[in-house]
Amino acid sequence: MPTILIPTKLDTAAAEILRDNGFDVVQDAEKPLAELVRAHADATGLIVRSEKITAAVIDALPSLKVVVRAGAGYDNIDTKHARRQGIDVMNTPGANANAVAEEVIALVLAAYRHVIPADASTRTGAWEKKRFMGRELSKKTVGIVGLGNIGQLVAQRLAGFDNRIIVYDPVVSADKAEELGAELCSLQELFAAADIITLHLPETDETQGMINRDLLNVTKPGAILINCARAGIVNEEDVRAVKADKDLIFCTDVYAADAPGEKSVADIADIMLPHLGANTSEANRNAACRAAEQLVAYVQRGVGTNIVNRAVPEGLDEGHVELAFYLAKVARHYLGAETPPRRVEASFYGGLNEYSNWLLAPIVSGLSSHFDSLFDYHDAAEYLEEKGIVYVKRDGDDGKKYGRSMTIDLFEGSGTTFSKVSVRGTLTESNPMVSRIDGFDKLYFDPQGHSVMVVYEDRPGVLAKITGVMARHEINIDDMRAPHDARTGESMAVLKVNRPVSPVMLDEITEATDARRAVYIGIR
């Protein structure tokens, strides 16, 4: 009988589901984790919340096969060491979504009606009605940054307040936003127009510190900024710098560490909660049930839902996983990083069709930094559906002799008014290479690092103008390709450069060359 260890305060529904399915369950939130692990070294499964599952914990459980995080975030688990030991790590995304969405509404209402200071004042015997003049949530413009599970629920929960909902999410289709009664806009437009801004993004290299002074400087006086996502996406110093001038109201539920002690934002946060977003009995039960059900399906039927450290299957080179990610990333930027695609089509050649389902996750990860490439096909398909994006896998024709390669096409718009980009790539000496973009063939450039792509009407002297702009900005060119598309009469300059290229520089290049398109792509 498999033993499942639950060393956390999790709703007992998990233990009940597991026992009903023949598992031996040990649930104890009082004893130290190390002590529990020593006493139950035969455990084959773990269900945890915020407990630190380190390499030492993993090594102390030689029979361990799976760890389930009852919740979305899993940075408390050493997923890499788990993979090295052949252990799958799962999470339960969405189980806590409604709890977080409702917390956002609670924070807005508490801030607008001065609930916390008015309560404290009234308890002292004071009667300060004039001091606590409030505002109404009704008719306000609410900006939602990130339209995933939680962002969508926030939009739905606001329906009764007759708000205007604006959204920044570069992957969500316009149809999906319209379905939720929301309008898509740029991040700058959102910060300038919204009375209330709520953040629902993961913390990644791309999102870290993205809420900065440039955005905060355009906010309306008295705007509310709510962070129930991750602390690192907000530049704390920039909030501190603009708070007084903008009369900014800052409400937060997230910090650098979930632990007792002084919080660095205490001087600028109007409302601070101890990461209570998922802390409801309903969310706890949802997460418990999801964790148990996933574990039962995993052990009894081999269903690997929401595995976040999935290994590359035998026969598939890890380079092709990277290639799928890079091609999608290049296509995304080339189409327009702020332009949500409506449709994704992919073709796989040279035996890769066998792994097409497995490769969908890195493709989706390339389209959106909010999606973890280690999730599986079902997670990726659900994510695309959630964002209102259609996915089509085409049959790859090996008669074209493209070798072991793949093509990814992105579409935006509809009917006769649509834009499309088609990117093909392969591995060359184990390195991912982009071999074609639209009609520009035989490119073979490495997409990693910093790249600039300029499409222009073919004529002499254009390359000199592009490199001249680069030289004025002291940017070094490491490599360059310049293919020609005879069908359109256009050429493309692809330059690998030593550092990022600003939008101002792209505008200079466009003006100097009368470019049809000038794009910077930075891929770590």
Per-residue pLDDT of the chain (524 residues; tens, 9 = 90+): 789 999 999 999 999 999 999 999 999 999 999 999 999 999 999 999 989 999 999 999 999 999 999 988 888 999 989 988 999 999 998 889 999 999 999 999 999 999 999 999 999 999 999 999 999 999 999 999 999 889 999 999 998 999 999 999 988 888 888 889 999 999 999 999 999 999 999 888 788 999 999 999 999 999 999 999 999 999 999 999 999 999 999 999 999 988 899 999 999 999 999 999 989 999 999 999 999 999 999 888 888 788 888 777 778 888 898 999 999 999 999 988 778 888 999 999 998 998 898 899 899 989 987 777 667 778 888 889 988 899 999 988 777 778 889 999 999 865 555 689 999 999 988 889 999 999 999 888 899 899 999 999 999 999 999 999 999 999 999 999 999 888 888 999 999 999 999 999 999 999 999 999 999 998 87
**378/290 same-domain check:** no
Contact (CB, 8 A) for 180 and 165: yes
The continuous run of DSSP H or E covering 361 comes out as helix 356-367
Same domain assignment for residues 208 and 142:
yes
Cβ atoms of residues 390 and 343 within 8 Å: yes
Please tell me whether residues 341 and 489 are part of one structural domain: yes
Residues 413, 386 share a domain = yes
Total domain count for the chain?
3
Name the residue range of residue 287's domain: 3-93+281-301
Structure tokens at 269: 């946060």
> Within a domain: residue 308?
no
Token pair of 65, please?
């096969």
Q: What is the CATH number of the domain that holds 190?
A: 3.40.50.720
Q: Which two tokens stand for residue 499?
A: 């550092």
Same domain, 65 and 151: no
Sign of CA dihedral 374, 377, 378, 382: positive
Answer yes or no: is 198 within a domain. yes
Say yes or no: 258 and 182 in one domain: yes
Q: Report the CATH number that the domain containing residue 489 is assigned in CATH.
A: 3.30.1330.90
Side chain identity at residue 441, one-letter code = D
- The answer to whether residue 306 is domain-embedded is no
Report d(CA 411, CA 342) in Å as an integer.
6
Cβ-based neighbour number of residue 394 at 10 Å = 13
The secondary structure of 240-265 as a DSSP string is HHHHHHHT-EEEE---SSSSSS--TT
455 with 503, same domain? yes
Angle at which helices 356-367 and 377-387 cross, to 10°: 40
Residue 57's contacts (CB-CB under 8 Å, 6 or more residues apart) are 33, 34, 37
Distances in Å between the alpha carbon of 375 and those of 89, 307, 330, 367, 444? 10, 6, 21, 14, 29
Could you tell me if 86 and 101 lie in one domain? no
Residue 291: both structure tokens together = 């964790």
For the chain, how long is the longest CA-to-CA vector? 85
Co-location of 21 and 164 in the same domain: no
For residue 419, give both structure tokens. 């834009």
462 three-state secondary structure: helix
Give the separation between CA 326 and CA 172, rounded to whole angstroms: 20
Predicted local distance difference test score (pLDDT) of residue 371: 79
Q: Two tokens at 399?
A: 């008669």
Residues 174 and 268 in one domain: yes
Q: Looking at the domain assignment, is residue 519 inside a domain?
A: yes
Residues in contact with 117: Cβ distance below 8 Å, sequence separation at least 6, in sequence order? 132
Decide if 311 is inside a domain. no
Residue 517: inside a domain, yes or no?
Answer: yes
Q: Is residue 353 part of a domain?
A: yes
The reply to whether 406 falls in a domain is yes
Q: Give per-residue pLDDT as tens, 224-257.
A: 999 999 999 999 999 999 999 999 999 999 999 8
Query: Is residue 338 a contact partner of residue 170, using CB atoms and an 8 Å limit?
Result: yes
Q: What per-residue confidence (pLDDT) applies to 374?
A: 63
Residues 292 and 268 in one domain: no
- 125 with 80, same domain? no
Structure tokens at 89: 């790590």
